[in-house]
Amino acid sequence: MTHEANSSAETVALVGCAVVDGTGAPPITRGVVVLRAGHVSAVGPVGSVHIPPAARVLRCDGQTALPGIIDSHTHIEHDVAAVLRAFVHDGVTTVGGTGCGPALLPLLHDAGQAPDAARVFAAGPAITAPGGYPGGRGDGSAALGIESPAEAEAAVDKLAALGVDFVKVAQEPFDFDFRNPGRLPVPGPDVIAAIVRRATAHGLLVRSHVHNVTQLDIALDAGVTSVEHMLFPLPPDVGYVELYREGSLSTDALPGLRKRLARMVERGVYVVPTIGNELANIRAGLPEFPANALRAIEQLMVAVLTLYVEAGGRVALGSDWVGRPGFPAGMPRREMRYLAEAGLSPLRILRASTRNAAIVCGQGATLGVLAPGRRADLIVVDGDPLSDLAALDRIRIVVKDGRVVAPAEDAVPTEDAVPTEPGHPIPTEPSP
């Protein structure tokens, strides 16, 4: 058998594995997942699922099948094909591109169509105010500056014509100069509201890069789907570094924290924390910053996320800038550890990394869950990630669009013949 010869047109049955479907439901302890024509055809306990007679059957006893991991917040600007290959071979079958120039958008989409690459859903340029963030980064093409509601509607129309999968807005007054922070222009409340209305008319959700309390309220009033990053809700014109220097680095310094968290929960807003990269930004901007101070900021970020989780908030996995030191393309293990520190169980972490991440990428009806009709993206790992997330380091196979992508020939589960009678369920016991 060669993996390259495997086709998405082939019918594959994974048999005997535990199945974590991505919804947060309890796992099927010994299950069957049937993949046909690039989609999930059937999921259920062993003995209850019928296997087509021509199916390729892979025995997966002692292993766990779950949806492919989705990193919902990335920026990939270089070596796109190689980066997307690295993602998929480490179990990440989909990534969300949360801001890039219009020329890069089709390159990301096209590269993600390769059989051995993570698929990409992307926002294209972020809508911001003229001169606002992220216009000062790179060549400035990742920002689309607008001033009025009419311009906001035209900007969304332009993005929709470019083929974006969701809309990103930048409500960021901070210029990321941690030594001498400056103030950047941001879109007004009427502009943010117009963006959300027009995006909704196009069937596109809106994700907001928002850090401070005033902008968070505006984003919630407008009805954004998600809040990107963990720096919230900070006082206006203040960052975590400033709070540390003032000696007020605690949740008490965050205005109306619990009230705003409750409002986010009530509205069903998703948070994509990206804590690791937020800390990396501070470290890069202030290399001399004391390690204990960075740790204190890290603890506050986790404390805020903990309160959100305890209040019933929805979380989606995202890593942010891919390729910077300590953030290789692949499974966002560091972010998963932060989710665990914030009190998410392994089952909820997997939901954040599959179903929820698919939703914020605008793919809640097609990806992130193992259910009939969904795209056949999944991974099989040795052991039980619900008792030990380190099982995600032991990937046996990766499936994208029903096509098996495996790291090595000996990593593929044992193949069995299907029952001789067409339409019979698979035997309830492993073959000798």
Q: What is the tens place of the pLDDT at every residue in 58-89?
A: 999 999 999 999 999 999 999 999 999 999 99
**269 pLDDT more than 70:** yes
Give the Cα separation of 186 and 145 in Å (integer): 9
What is the longest distance spanned by two Cα atoms in the chain? 74
Confidence band of 234 (pLDDT split at 50, 70, 90)? low
Specify the higher pLDDT residue, 180 or 199: 199
Lowest mean pLDDT among 56-60, 75-79, 227-231, 274-278: 227-231
**411 pLDDT more than 80:** no
Give the Cα separation of 412 and 4 in Å (integer): 13
Lowest mean pLDDT among 48-57, 181-190, 416-425: 416-425
In one-letter notation, the amino acid at residue 2 is T
Token pair of 117 as six digits: 């690459």
Give the Cα separation of 398 and 31 in Å (integer): 17
Confidence band of 428 (pLDDT split at 50, 70, 90)? very low
pLDDT in tens, 211-226: 888 899 999 999 999 9
132 conformational bin, left if phi > 0, alpha if psi -120 to 50, beta if neither = beta
> What is the per-residue pLDDT for 232?
58
**185 pLDDT more than 90:** yes
Radius of gyration for the chain, computed over Cα atoms and rounded to the nearest angstrom: 22
**Under a CB-based contact definition with an 8 Å cutoff, are residues 131 and 157 in contact?**
no
Of 380, 306, 376, the C-alpha closest to 348 is: 306
Neighbour tally for 68: CB within 10 Å: 28
The residue behind tokens 């990321």 is 176
**Under a CB-based contact definition with an 8 Å cutoff, are residues 46 and 28 in contact?**
no
Confidence band of 248 (pLDDT split at 50, 70, 90)? confident
**237 pLDDT more than 70:** no
**Number of Cα atoms under 13 Å in the Cβ half of residue 239:** 22
Give the Cα separation of 359 and 165 in Å (integer): 11
pLDDT in tens, 7-63: 667 899 999 999 999 999 999 999 999 999 999 999 999 999 999 999 999 999 999
**Under a CB-based contact definition with an 8 Å cutoff, are residues 313 and 350 in contact?**
no
The average pLDDT across 345-357 equals: 98
pLDDT in tens, 95-153: 999 999 999 999 999 999 999 999 999 999 999 999 999 998 888 999 999 999 999 99
Domains belonging to the chain, first-starting first, are: 3-66+369-416 (2.30.40.10), 69-360 (3.20.20.140)
In one-letter notation, the amino acid at residue 21 is D
**4 pLDDT more than 80:** no
CA distance to 223, 231, 236, per residue, from 188 (Å):
14, 20, 15
Q: How far apart are the first and last CA of the chain?
A: 21
**Under a CB-based contact definition with an 8 Å cutoff, are residues 167 and 127 in contact?**
yes
- CB-based burial, 94-114: b 16+ in 10 Å, e otherwise: bbbbbbbbbebbebbbebbee
**Which pTM was predicted?**
0.92
| Residue 253 CB-density burial (10 A; 0-12 exposed, 13-18 middle, 19+ buried) | middle
Give the Cα separation of 313 and 261 in Å (integer): 8
Lowest mean pLDDT among 238-252, 319-333, 370-384: 238-252
The average pLDDT across 319-341 equals: 92
Give the Cα separation of 380 and 395 in Å (integer): 6
**410 pLDDT more than 60:** no
